[in-house]
Amino acid sequence: MITSKRHNTAEEYPIATLLQHLQHALTPAQLDRIHWLLFALIALGTLAQTQVCLFLAQLTPIAPNTWRQRLKRLRQQPFPQQTLFPTLLRLAVEWLHLPQVFLALDATTLGNRWTVLALGVVVHQHTIPVAWTIVRGNTKGAWLPLCETLLGLLRGALPKSLSVFVLTDRGLWSPQLFGAIVRNGCIR
């Protein structure tokens, strides 16, 4: 039997509030699956697929393999980036009461199969992803257009009075990327 590791109160994890903010950006099926996934993450402290599926199967009349298929379909469905990513950025900044925002732009390879280009809010030595794109690994092509797209999706998401800093490592830095950051008004 999979048991809960966390004993925090529901007020510490405003899942319902989060889902209300996301309901305009996601389909009802996506919202339902994300709700269950967040519940499992809070209860278990992990998103290990087998543990999550076994845990959810104990709480619902749905079999573990059915949960696995539902979560797989969730990963396969496209998310509406134009509405989801700015909402995630606004929520992270509002909920954390950040006086200034540091965004990290980074590319991470997952073996030879995938490369994830992600933009996240830096908080206490951690990064909360708010925008991302996934491309096949070992494919030729420039990342600059993908970076520009991510930055463009977040333009206007934050108030102009908020200072925003965009951080990259040496592998992504280029004068063209700096120009894209300036053109997008540091995400404003």
Between 45 and 86, the higher pLDDT residue: 86
Rounded mean pLDDT, 130-137: 87
How far is residue 55 from each of residues 39, 49, 61, measured CA to CA in Å? 10, 10, 11
Instruction: Specify the 3-state DSSP secondary structure of 93.
Output: helix
pTM listed for this prediction: 0.73
- Whether the per-residue pLDDT at 54 is higher than 90: the answer is yes
> What pLDDT, in 10s, does the model give residues 163-174?
899 988 887 778
pLDDT band at 45 (very low <50, low <70, confident <90, very high): confident
pLDDT band at 188 (very low <50, low <70, confident <90, very high): very low
Please say whether the beta carbons of 165 and 147 come within 8 A: no
- Whether the per-residue pLDDT at 182 is higher than 80: the answer is yes
DSSP readout, 131-170? EEEEEETT----SHHHHHHHHHHTTTSS-TTSEEEEEE-T
Query: What percent of the chain stands above pLDDT 70?
Result: 90
- Extract the tokens encoding 105: 């732009």
- Whether the per-residue pLDDT at 13 is higher than 90: the answer is no
pLDDT band at 186 (very low <50, low <70, confident <90, very high): low
> What pLDDT, in 10s, does the model give residues 55-93?
999 999 999 999 999 988 887 888 788 888 888 898 888
Query: What percent of the chain stands above pLDDT 90?
Result: 18
Domains of the chain: 10-76 (no CATH), 83-187 (3.30.420)
pLDDT band at 3 (very low <50, low <70, confident <90, very high): low
